[in-house]
Amino acid sequence: MKKKYAMVVDSSVCIDCKACMASCKVEHGLPRGYWRNWIKEKSPDFSMGKYTYAHYQPGGCMHCDNPTCVHACPSGATYKDEETGIVQINKDFCIGCGNCIVACPYSARYRHPTHRVPDKCDYCQDRMAMGLQPACVDTCPTKARVFGDINDPESEAAVLLKDRKWVQINTEPEDTDPNMYYLADTEPMDWPGEVEYPAAHATMTRLVNPLFKVAVGLSALGAAVMFVKQITSGSETSGHDEKKKEA
C-alpha cells in the first residue's frame, strides 16, 4: 500500500513558544527572515471578560492532494511523490519562474535568496531517512503535532483521525484538499489567499514541459551513447591486446 504522510495538529495545546519554527530553521539552515513553518494567532475577544483566551495555530506546507503549486509548475520541478504523498521540489528541473509560489494559497513557499529557487517544508526528508520525526514534531513541548502515515491504520496519526473529529483549512473556489488536519477545531480559518495562476502559465506549460521532456530524453540518450562507447572502446582495446599477443 502506498504511504500518505500527513500532519495531525491539536492547536488547542499550542502555547506559541515557536520551538517548531526555530528547530526547522536550524535543521535546514534557512536564511534570515525566511521560514518553512509558522504559527497563526486568533485575535482575542476581550468582550468575553475573564473567559478571554488566545488560540494559536501551527502550520506549514499542507502537502495537498490537489496541489495547486504542482498544477502551476511548467517544468515538472514541483511534483507530488506518488509513493509518499509528499509534495517535493526537484531543484535541478526548476527554471525559477515563481509560478508555484503565487499559486500556493497558504504562502508555504518562498524563493531562496541565494539559490534563487523555491523552498518549503519537505517533512525533513533527511531525518525521515534515518527513521526520525520532523524537527518541528520532535521539538514541540506540548506535542501539538503528530506526524505519520495515515494509510497505516496503526499509526498514531491515523488513530487520531479515526477517533477524533477534525477540520482542514480549505480554500475556495479551488479546494486543495490539504493533508494537515486539526483536531476538533482551530482558529483562525480565513487566512489563506486565493489560488493565482500567472497569465502566462498556460503558454509556459505548453512550451517548457515538452522542452524538459526532450532534455531528459536527450540526457538519457547521451548516457546510453557513452555506455555504448565505453563497451566498444573496451572491446577494441581487448582486440588490440590480443593482436599484440599474437604478434
Give per-residue pLDDT as tens, 123-170. Answer: 999 999 999 999 999 999 999 999 999 999 999 999 999 999 999 999
Percent of the chain with pLDDT over 70: 80
Structure confidence at residue 66 as a pLDDT band (50, 70, 90)? very high
What average pLDDT does this structure show over 50-54? 78
pLDDT over 50 (residue 224): no
Mean pLDDT of 105-112: 97
**Is 79 a residue whose pLDDT tops 70?**
yes
* Confidence band of 44 (pLDDT split at 50, 70, 90): confident
**Mean pLDDT for the chain overall:** 86
185-199, 203-217, 233-247: lowest mean pLDDT where?
A: 233-247
Q: Is the dihedral of CA 154, 187, 18, 99 positive or negative?
A: positive
Q: How confident is the model at residue 92 (pLDDT cuts 50, 70, 90)?
A: very high
**Whole-angstrom Cα distance, residue 229 to residue 221?**
12
Which cell goes with 215?
Answer: 532534455
The reported pTM is 0.80
pLDDT above 90 (res 242):
no
Task: Produce one character per residue of 97-114: b if its CB has 16 or more CB atoms within 10 Å, e if not.
Answer: bbbbbbbbbbebbbeeee
Candidates 5, 29, 22; CA nearest to 139 is 22
If you average pLDDT over residues 59-73, what whole number do you get?
97
Phi/psi of residue 6, nearest 5 degrees: -150, 165
Q: Which long-range contacts (CB under 8 A, 24 or more apart) does 139-144 make?
A: 139/19, 139/20, 139/22, 139/23, 140/19, 140/20, 140/58, 141/15, 141/17, 141/19, 142/13, 142/14, 142/15, 143/10, 143/13, 144/9, 144/10, 144/11, 144/13, 144/14, 144/58
Residue, of 8 and 208, whose pLDDT is higher: 8
Q: What is the pLDDT of residue 46?
A: 75
What's the CA gap between 119 and 112, in Å, rounded? 6
pLDDT at residue 50, rounded to an integer = 77
Q: What is the mean pLDDT of residues 37-63?
A: 88
CA distances from 191 to 58, 225, 230, 239 (A): 13, 53, 58, 72
pLDDT: which is higher, 195 or 164: 164
pLDDT score of 235: 44
Please give the pLDDT value at position 227.
43
Distance from C-alpha of 99 to C-alpha of 204, rounded to nearest angstrom? 10
In angstroms, rounded to a whole number, what is the distance separating the alpha carbons of residues 60 and 38?
A: 6
